[in-house]
Structure 1
Amino acid sequence: MPAADTDRPRPKSVDPKNKVFALIRSRATAGPLEELAAKRKNIHIVVTDMSNPRKLDEAAAEVAKVTGGSLDVLILNAGSAGPETSTLPPSAFHGREDALENEIHENIKNNLLSNIYLVNCFLGLVRNGVEKKIVFVSSQCGDVEFTRVTGLATLLGYSVSKAGMNVITTKFGAELAQEGIKTLSMSPGWVNTDAAKAVTGDPEIRKFMLNAFHKIDPTVEGPISVDESVTDQLQVIQNLTEADSGKFLTHHGNHDEWF
């Protein structure tokens, strides 16, 4: 990806000089992505398994063939909200210890371990890149103060895994700083994705979430669009410097504007 201009960033695939790689589990469920890739030949779809380091090594090798062995920005966007028990608060797991272990383990596996695998498998390409940036798409749920103020007691495993990966991202930043590699954890905001619609589309759940979020920001009315979130995130990534490496920021590039 080339150095960004001074205007608000556009989706990177808009510029044909950029090479964009999308790692997915299956092409069978990637209809919209397939349509976009058919229009923009600089989008490359790579099928892999985030939980399998060998498969990720193969994916990195596939990317390297296209880029000549380098990658400017690695964005860790894969994740899962975990099993159905995500709707339970911690005390509800008393007497359900097996469910608690599954709640924690599934989220740690999907949202933390898999991302460590991904970084390690692609690190050689990032080392050869120009921008040398690793960005983890985190969540407000991984922030202690956000949880404390909103009083959101559910999404236990998801929150733990996001908070844990925030620390891991900082650890990578500390380890790789001398190589000029910068890392960042970033909340995308409350975004109107398909996954969010499946949850907050329910009027009662939406009302509950708004009541909680209003404790942080009384002006929030609902989720922002995917385009708005992505544009804001790209701005933060564009502005990432060594001074901010290892931090956990919002999509506005600060510590408190979560929406």
Structure 2
Amino acid sequence: MVSWAVTGATRGIGLGFVQNLSADSQNQVFAIIRSLATAGPLKELATERKNIHIVVTELSDPEKLKLAAAEVSKATGGSLDVLILNAGSAGPETSALPPSAFHGKEEALEKEIGENINNNIISNIYVINSFLDLIRNGTEKKIAFVSSQSGDLEFTRITGFSFVMGYSIAKAGMNIVMTKFGAELAHEGIKTISLSPGWVNTDAAKAVTGDPAVRKIMLDLFHKLDPDVSGPIEVDESVSSQLKLIKELTAENSGKFLTHHGDTSTWF
């Protein structure tokens, strides 16, 4: 039996991971979430599939994460095979602003960057460190981070995608953190990877690109990189592609940032 832990598992890509993985009864799946109040679909799925374990914790609190890791450890006998870091957020309402728009808005700039650093980098480091001993005892010894194409320099340069600055900075920063962990832990057989999920048809994405005018702006930018992109892919397609790469992850690929296609340029 392979044990998997997925953060941010109440909806979207995180819930997609849980749905996909729990379909195999040989997988033991830990859905790590902040609150049961918004976890309706997850709770329904966990009622149907007994290999799903819901763990409620606070990702920004090392003490609560310690308790969450202990809960997982009790269920697995002290190990965890794969940790998937999916939880995160695009930050405050200023995310639609390009860098120059923050001139004279220093407090807003600090909030834009700070909230994203806390939610998308520091919390993830807390999670990794809290579960690291379990990963050390696992068989697969893998840690995967769900990143974003917006954290890639070439994607940004070619498309002209100047928005979600704090989110992009945090995703890019977490990519290097994953590489650092991979470099540090390679001698223990632990492997890391950052993956862009693609442009995915989640509720969060719909909230941004559901507006026809915004969708046209996005497509005009994305067409600079890929003239054939017509819209987002479904969650299951993204999750299936990412899981294939996670399962195939070797020491040779550890620490890389790849698209869901397994390369460094096919973002859609």
Pair in the same fold by TM > 0.5: yes
* Partner of residue 230, structure 2: 221
* Partner of residue 70, structure 2: 61
**Are the aligned partners of 2:149 and 2:155 in contact in 1 as well (CA < 8 Å)?**
yes
Q: Which amino acid aligns with 1:40?
A: R
* Partner of residue 42, structure 2: 33
Q: Which amino acid aligns with 2:47?
A: A
Q: Which amino acid aligns with 1:46?
A: V
How far apart are 1:17 and its partner, in Å?
Answer: 1.8
Distance 2:240 2:84 in 1: 14
Q: Secondary structure at the match of 1:170?
A: helix
How far apart are 1:2 and its partner, in Å?
Answer: 3.9
Match 1:74 to one of 63, 69, 83: 83
Deviations 1:72-129 (A, max 9, x none): 1000000000000001011111110000000000000000000000000000000000
Distance 2:202 2:229 in 1: 17
Size of the aligned set, in residue pairs, is: 254
Q: Which amino acid aligns with 1:146?
A: F
Q: Which amino acid aligns with 2:90?
A: A
Match 1:152 to one of 156, 161, 167: 161
Shift >4 Å, 4+ stretches: none
Q: Which amino acid aligns with 1:157?
A: G
Q: TM-score scaled by structure 2?
A: 0.93
**Are the aligned partners of 2:21 and 2:29 in contact in 1 as well (CA < 8 Å)?**
yes
Distance 2:129 2:58 in 1: 14
Deviations 1:150-198 (A, max 9, x none): 0011101000000000000000000000000000000000000010011
* Partner of residue 146, structure 2: 137
Q: Secondary structure at the match of 1:243?
A: coil
Distance 2:79 2:262 in 1: 26
Match 1:255 to one of 248, 255, 264: 264
**Any residues of structure 2 matched to 1:119-198 within 5 Å, and which?**
119-198=128-207
Q: Which amino acid aligns with 1:67?
A: T
Bigger Cα displacement from structure 2, 13-22 vs 241-250 = 13-22
How far apart are 1:12 and its partner, in Å?
Answer: 1.4
| Percent of aligned pairs sharing the same letter | 70
How far apart are 1:13 and its partner, in Å?
Answer: 0.6
Q: Which amino acid aligns with 2:71?
A: E
How far apart are 1:216 and its partner, in Å?
Answer: 1.0
Q: Secondary structure at the match of 1:248?
A: strand
